Structure 1
Amino acid sequence: KTSKDGEAAEDLSDASVKSKSQAFWARWGGSKAVDSASLQTGRGNRAVSRSLRDAREDAVCVVRCGKKGGSGMLVEFKGHVGLLTNNHVVPTKRDAKSATTTYHTALKGSVAVPLSPADAFCSSPPEELDYSFVACASPSGVVPVPLAMRRADDDADEERGDGLVCLEDVEVKAGDSITIVQHPEGCEKSIAIGPVVRVQGSEVTYEADTEAGSSGAPVLKDYVPVALHHMAPRGG
């Protein structure tokens, strides 16, 4: 198929990956919130090996797209290795052509990787799920996080919904501890940890320190991706 800017690219937005009315990451649970005074960071979490932590942190990059910046993660989906970030960070294929990504890794140092939107590009606008997936080369020493498509009828659990999930597929609920690996304001990689307050539909609400430039960072439970950081709630 041909994109709006006239370039051919593989269509990843067919019925199996359509985004409207679907959670990009599968969600679980209802809208029940936990009172902030009773939140217990770490409840429901398990020990994570150092090797997994290092690998997932290495897979997080800083993204620069014109005057905009954000964070992102190297993933693999439908045979393509690519960048996953917010759509408001990399809105279109045209923007992706000039965007740059840099992975600051423990063993290889800084690795710059150009994007290849002509190979694969799919997205959902900010008012919906706010994601962009853009194909790229696999940077040396960085392991992409594998994703798969879930359908609610696969396990007869409609509450969990459709969406993309990490193949490790974990449940997230209010009270769990999440980790955000990010490049706030385009600076060096940092980690924020906090409790989940609410899981409602395609949204996960949590308490964690983020800044401009954290957009598109992976939200992890036990270092398994469960969401993309989108924004802090206005007025809160």
Structure 2
Amino acid sequence: MLRGIIEQKEISKERFEAKQDQIQKQALKRFIENDSKRNSNLEKIDIKDNTLKSRRKLLNDYDSIAMERIMGKSDLFPISYLQMGTNSGNSICRIQIRDDRGSFIGSGTGFLVSENVLMTNNHVIDSMRTALNSIAEFNYQDDVNFMPCPTCTFRLNPEQFFVTDEELDFTLVALKDNPSSDKQPKDFGHLHLVAEEGKILEGEYVSIIQHPNGGPKAVTIRENKVSSILDDFIHYLTDTEPGSSGSPVFNDQWIVVALHHSGVPNPNKKNTWIANEGIRISSISNYFAKKYNNFTAEEKMFIGEIFSNLDIFSEPNPSDPIPSQIDVGYDSTFLGLDYKVDLPGLSEEMKKDVSYMDNGSYVLDYTHFSIVMCRSRCLAYFTAVNIDGNQAKNIKRSGDSWNFDPRIPTDAQYGDELYAKNDLDRGHLVRRLDPVWGDKAIQANNDTFHFTNSSPQHKNLNQKIWLDLENYILKNAQNHNLKVSVFTGPVFRSDDMIYRGKFKIPAEFWKVAVMIKDDGKMSATAYLQTQKNMIENLEFAYGEYKTYQVPVARIEEITGLDFGELSQYDPIANIESAGMVIGAPEHIKL
């Protein structure tokens, strides 16, 4: 769930101010270009008439003079208008931007768009790292006696949900509950975002609730005329100050029409402004509509809470090659109809964090094997391969060219950036020769060279290749048809090392091998191998590694996967609970 993160450099006051300056220059450029390309009055009338038709749907039927206000014929408001503004302001907070040492860098504004998801600017919270260091303060305002109100402070929780985009300058990030607070984020309410266009017209007025200069909450009401509406931005004349970045821009119905992000500087006079600029909410919603199929199930759940009326569409590229074009993949009846071995089951939490294809499936089928990817870790939850020793082909390795699988997002797969200039190998999870059998052996060989099938392994671990476990099992099983089904994957732990600022490196890998022995009974054996003492220093790693034969139940325990009834066919299920060190192939118990 770490979308749009290109880098995670430590935030600094200089970098923060430089980004603001860059955004202001871009806003001025858009303002000048738009001013020189204004359409004719006739075209504006046509646009306005069309927009009014959709605008009427957003009005309260009991507000009888709402359309007169929109047309500029009345300034009358029901008294409830002020209460609606107060209610809307409850969900708006001050954001304190801090560096890794906890030092104050700057401030911004944010607002809740669901029970625990905050919206602000990308230039306020630009990465997970910044989010983890920063805090959100609600009710940071003065009461009717101009005395400070009690505030409620919450940490940001980017590991649960985090989406950011530099071009549209927005960030969505989850908040953590505060166990020491009487109130939690959901108690402050949230602003409902409307995806459709037509929520504001040129000439109308907007209101902004903000934390100017990082101070107590303030509001500008209807003194802010919309001067132009661009494809993704709107310009308006309003009083905003630094610290107001990330504020919601409201129309007269207190519907959020834009995310405030910058002033438009006066090119002729320093430190003065000719307008302000906000990102249209309809453009932000359009961003999610276009990319919707690239998000995980859990991300889609959050997005659905934020944009309940999102008009989802996708743009498939027919030229993208599909890895295999053969609907085979792992065969659960490969060992025989009486020995069905299904793919491991995922927990409900794991199902929320898988990479889906456009067809709604998360099982990536290749020739003789299948893979299920973990979205947040960009690595496989597991691989599953059928091995047929009788039909095995000896195809030589012709190179080391790896490819992304176009059926899932590229940013959901670790690529070459991880493996450059270090001792990490692209470890095959499905070993290259395992699915290489039968008439489609060449295609199977090629399919194994997808990044979905790779996992970062220290070269000393990868080159020993698990003591050639599959070779030993095939050679010694005395199986009448030499068939084996093998499941492999990394162990994901919260304390896995973060490498180069964003890659989490698994320290352990597991394998489960299933076969039918000569006596007709099924055997399911499990193995665990660690590289934990190898990756602490990737540049100067050394030391021994160990392989263990462990109960299948142990693999279920540390991965969260469900192997069904396989534990019943595990020869050490009731012998060893901690596992046995495998120093040589003859130590394996089948």
Normalising to structure 1: TM-score of the pair? 0.68
Partner of 1:195: 225
In the alignment, is the contact (CA less than 8 A) between 1:185 and 1:214 conserved in 2? yes
Deviations 1:127-175, CA, capped at 9 Å, x for gaps: x21000001144263001233655xxxxxxxxx4xxxxxxxxx620111
In the alignment, is the contact (CA less than 8 A) between 2:155 and 2:175 conserved in 1? yes
Give, in angstroms, the shift of residue 43 of structure 1.
4.0
SS in 1 for 2:86: helix
Partner of 1:172: 200
Q: Distance in 1 between matches of 2:169 and 2:106?
A: 15
Q: 1:184 aligns with which of 212, 225, 229?
A: 212
Partner of 1:136: 175
The alignment status of 1:109 with 2:144, answered yes or no, reads no
Partner of 2:163: 122
Give, in angstroms, the shift of residue 198 of structure 1.
0.9
Question: Alpha carbons of 1:148 and 1:192: their partners in 2 closer, same or farther (altered >3 Å)?
Answer: closer
Question: Alpha carbons of 1:121 and 1:62: their partners in 2 closer, same or farther (altered >3 Å)?
Answer: same
Give, in angstroms, the shift of residue 234 of structure 1.
2.1
Deviations 1:69-102, CA, capped at 9 Å, x for gaps: 11111111xxx62110010000001110011110
Partner of 1:234: 265
Choose 1 or 2 for highest CA Rg.
Answer: 2
Question: Alpha carbons of 1:173 and 1:43: their partners in 2 closer, same or farther (altered >3 Å)?
Answer: same
The answer to which of 216-225 and 44-53 deviates more is 44-53
Partner of 1:224: 255
Give, in angstroms, the shift of residue 63 of structure 1.
0.5
SS in 2 for 1:172: coil
Question: Alpha carbons of 1:94 and 1:206: their partners in 2 closer, same or farther (altered >3 Å)?
Answer: same
Q: Distance in 2 between matches of 1:95 and 1:171?
A: 32
Partner of 2:90: 58
Give, in angstroms, the shift of residue 32 of structure 1.
5.5
SS in 1 for 2:94: strand
SS in 2 for 1:119: coil
Give, in angstroms, the shift of residue 232 of structure 1.
0.6
Q: Distance in 1 between matches of 2:211 and 2:186?
A: 20
Give, in angstroms, the shift of residue 52 of structure 1.
2.3
SS in 2 for 1:231: strand
Q: Distance in 2 between matches of 1:2 and 1:90?
A: 13
Deviations 1:186-234, CA, capped at 9 Å, x for gaps: 0011112311111111111101011110100000112111101111112
SS in 2 for 1:52: helix
Give, in angstroms, the shift of residue 51 of structure 1.
3.7
Read off the aligned partner of 1:171 and give its amino acid letter.
K
The alignment status of 1:69 with 2:99, answered yes or no, reads no
Read off the aligned partner of 1:109 and give its amino acid letter.
P
**Identity between Structure 1 and Structure 2 (%):** 27
Question: Alpha carbons of 1:89 and 1:119: their partners in 2 closer, same or farther (altered >3 Å)?
Answer: same
Q: Distance in 2 between matches of 1:92 and 1:33?
A: 42
Deviations 1:9-35, CA, capped at 9 Å, x for gaps: xxxxxxxxxxxxxxxxxxxxx96699x
Q: Distance in 2 between matches of 1:208 and 1:33?
A: 25
Q: Distance in 1 between matches of 2:122 and 2:225?
A: 25
SS in 1 for 2:193: strand
Question: Alpha carbons of 1:129 and 1:202: their partners in 2 closer, same or farther (altered >3 Å)?
Answer: same
Q: Distance in 2 between matches of 1:141 and 1:33?
A: 48
Long gaps (5+) in structure 2: 7-36, 42-67, 99-104, 144-148, 177-183, 267-273, 275-590
Higher helix share: 2
Deviations 1:104-144, CA, capped at 9 Å, x for gaps: 1789831111111000000110xx21000001144263001
Partner of 2:193: 147
In the alignment, is the contact (CA less than 8 A) between 2:192 and 2:255 conserved in 1? no
SS in 2 for 1:72: strand
Partner of 1:21: none
Deviations 1:28-60, CA, capped at 9 Å, x for gaps: xx96699xxxxxxx9418645444222211111
The alignment status of 1:100 with 2:135, answered yes or no, reads yes
Higher strand share: 1
Q: Distance in 1 between matches of 2:225 and 2:90?
A: 23
Partner of 1:22: none
Normalising to structure 2: TM-score of the pair? 0.29
SS in 1 for 2:130: helix
